[in-house]
Structure 1
Amino acid sequence: MKFKSKTQFKSIGLALLALVALAACDNDETEITGTELNVTDLTLQDENALLFMLEEEKLARDTYDFLDGLYGINQFANIKVSEQSHVDAVAKLLDQYQIEYTLLPYGEFANEEMQKLYDQFMEKGQIDASNALEVGATIEDLDIVDLVAFIDAATNPSVIGVFESLQCGSRNHLRSFVRAIENSGETYAPQFLTIEEYNTIVDSTNERCGP
């Protein structure tokens, strides 16, 4: 399965201060504690990137919440809390720039691509615990790649700061899922990262996220 982020540009003019404070990032190992003030308007691309990542972080949270209830695996229990902090961080920035957004109930998404992915992950994750852990690794794999693209295209310092912290958290989450997969005697093959990028991440120690 291959998936690429797509954003549609729309216009909005804003000039407000952005203050971002991110909470726990990894499963009790890493925190995001960055705070940044910025008066730069959001570009159309920055705005749509935030709206997209709000849905993608919700995808992670909702999936892990469901799989935690199904299997009670520590990775899901811990990382779903971190994903809630990621959702909150993006939503806070959207609020500060007065950008309208919708957060639907668990398992429901305004973005059709996210809904399709969620349904696919639910089907795979319910097969067994091994497939569930692979779903977790795949979500983080996807998240990292999408954030790389958005960071490269972003111009607003607050957006870049939030996305870099989220990406740091996703690298830690990927390491955690991969460790659990390998401890169960299985292996994970990256779906979105190159093998070189993947090996660099999983062969590194956990990071402390934030400035």
Structure 2
Amino acid sequence: MKTLFGKTWIVMVAIMFTVGFGFSSCSDDDNETATPQLINANLTDSEEEALLFMLEEEKLARDVYIYLGNLWGTNQFLNIKQSEQTHMDAVKSLLDKYDVSYEILPVGSFNNQELQFLYNTLIEQGSQNVLSALNVGAGIEDLDIVDLQNYLDEMERPDIVAVFESLQCGSENHLRSFVFGITNLGEDYVPSYLTPEIYESILNSEQQSCL
């Protein structure tokens, strides 16, 4: 259980790109053709729940950035919303791969009512001024990075691990962009979830090329 800007946000962070992993089954007979097999094709309940939640978590970021981008015309929101759409598409690809049904509601609407409440709260906060909007964006990415690391510490499925790492890479890029905008307004962003050491390490790193 975590809080974002004083409101409860249970974030289960899941995955971005579909990566195929397999192995070859063979016998001592050199003439037998090896047959590729899918490793652990069935998701666990927790993995399925994570995928479904992540679809809407990525949608939350996208929808907030769409709203604030239209309101303020700020480059960070206009650019990053495209990245969040790519993240949504990647999660959908994995849901399709594992034959998990899902529903995507219109912009600003969510199946998960906590995310619905969070969306309403964030756009209200971000509507105050550009600085508040940039802090909303930085806060979303700050929390995403921490949640992703928590899942990376627990996940074993190779495609999930690979995608979580890519999502974390993207969130670090986004955080740097939002903090850059905050700094240009003469203010500082104080992380709510990242440790000061990790936050400084991210800020001092170069923008990365992420999947």
TM band (smaller chain): 0.7 to 0.9
How far residue 105 of structure 1 moved from its aligned partner, in angstroms, is 0.7
Structure 1 stretch displaced more, 178-187 or 111-120:
111-120
Residue 130 of structure 1 aligns to a residue whose secondary structure is helix
Q: Which runs of 5+ in 2 are unaligned?
A: 23-37
Q: Deviations over 1:141-189 (max 9, x none)?
A: 1111121122222222111111111111000000010011101111111
Could you say which residue in structure 2 is the equivalent of 1:85?
86
User: Map of 1:54-133 to 2, 5 A cutoff?
Assistant: 54-133=55-134
How far residue 4 of structure 1 moved from its aligned partner, in angstroms, is 5.4
User: Map of 1:181-196 to 2, 5 A cutoff?
Assistant: 181-196=182-197
Q: How well do the aligned residues superpose, as a CA RMSD in angstroms?
A: 1.8
Q: Deviations over 1:70-115 (max 9, x none)?
A: 0111111110000000010011101110111221111111112211
The residue type equivalent to 2:67 in the other structure is: F
User: Map of 1:1-211 to 2, 5 A cutoff?
Assistant: 1=5, 3=8, 5=10, 20=17, 35-37=19-21, 39=38, 40=40, 41-210=42-211
The residue type equivalent to 2:94 in the other structure is: L
In 2: Cα distance, 1:62 partner to 1:5 partner: 18
How far residue 6 of structure 1 moved from its aligned partner, in angstroms, is 5.7
Aligned residues: 186
In 1: Cα distance, 2:107 partner to 2:66 partner: 9
In 2: Cα distance, 1:106 partner to 1:149 partner: 28
How far residue 134 of structure 1 moved from its aligned partner, in angstroms, is 0.5
Contact 2:155–2:161 under 8 Å retained in 1: yes
- When normalised by structure 2's length, the TM-score is 0.82
Contact 1:141–1:192 under 8 Å retained in 2: yes
Residue 54 of structure 1 aligns to a residue whose secondary structure is helix
Residue 171 of structure 1 aligns to a residue whose secondary structure is helix
Contact 2:172–2:202 under 8 Å retained in 1: yes
Identify which of structures 1 and 2 has the higher relative contact order when contacts are C-alpha pairs closer than 8 Å and 6+ apart: 1
How far residue 37 of structure 1 moved from its aligned partner, in angstroms, is 3.5
Q: Which runs of 5+ in 1 are unaligned?
A: 8-18, 22-34
Residue 153 of structure 1 aligns to a residue whose secondary structure is coil
Could you say which residue in structure 2 is the equivalent of 1:12?
none
In 1: Cα distance, 2:47 partner to 2:172 partner: 22
The residue type equivalent to 1:106 in the other structure is: V
- When normalised by structure 1's length, the TM-score is 0.82
In 2: Cα distance, 1:36 partner to 1:173 partner: 27
Q: Deviations over 1:108-147 (max 9, x none)?
A: 1111221121111011000001100111101111111121
Q: Report which of the two structures shows the higher radius of gyration computed on alpha carbons.
A: 2
The residue type equivalent to 2:58 in the other structure is: E
In 1: Cα distance, 2:142 partner to 2:17 partner: 24
